[in-house]
Amino acid sequence: MLARRSNKGLSPFRGIESLQDEMNRLFDDFFSPDERILGEMEFTPSVDISENKDAVVVKADLPGMEEKDIDVSIAGDVLTIKGERQEESEDKDENFYRRERVYGSFSRQIALPKHIKRDAVKAKFKNGVLTVTLPKSDDYKEKEVKIELEK
């Protein structure tokens, strides 16, 4: 014969409370990562890629960098932006409450359309933003072509 267990003192929601505590911990970790997690992150610049009638334009955010720390090149149909974001010298007497800024080497590769004039590409760096202008070849620029309707 089975003995009956007493449910006295046990909450029927005990499992749900435990699940709620774990979900709260996961959200806290996601929105407030600790330094161990941040130390494993790599710096990857954000980019915008746009197109107008004459060129494809790539803009990359590279805050805190200098022109000498950035390398831009094209190989085949790939634009590569490389560099290193140097960590500022740290005062040993300084105690951090939080460190979220990421430093280190990076390489960002962007596939290019085949209709770019590779020998006419220009790049400039101003106020932490790298702008690479990739002119379109003349034969690709939008031309209006009249198409006759068949009768």
Domain ranges for the chain, please list them. 45-87+101-135
Do the Cβ atoms of 136 and 56 come closer than 8 Å? yes
Give the residue-averaged pLDDT of 44-58. Answer: 92
* Region 45-87+101-135: CATH code: 2.60.40.790
What is the pLDDT at residue 93?
A: 65
The number of CA neighbours under 13 Å toward the Cβ of 51 is 9
Residue 32 · residue 38 · CB < 8 Å = no
Q: Are 74 and 114 in contact (CB under 8 A)?
A: no
pTM of the shown model: 0.62
Q: Can you name the residues that pair with 13 across neighbouring β-strands?
A: none
Q: Kindly tell me if the per-residue pLDDT of 67 is higher than 80.
A: yes
pLDDT-based confidence at residue 82 (cuts at 50, 70, 90): very high
Evaluate if residue 101 carries a pLDDT over 80: no
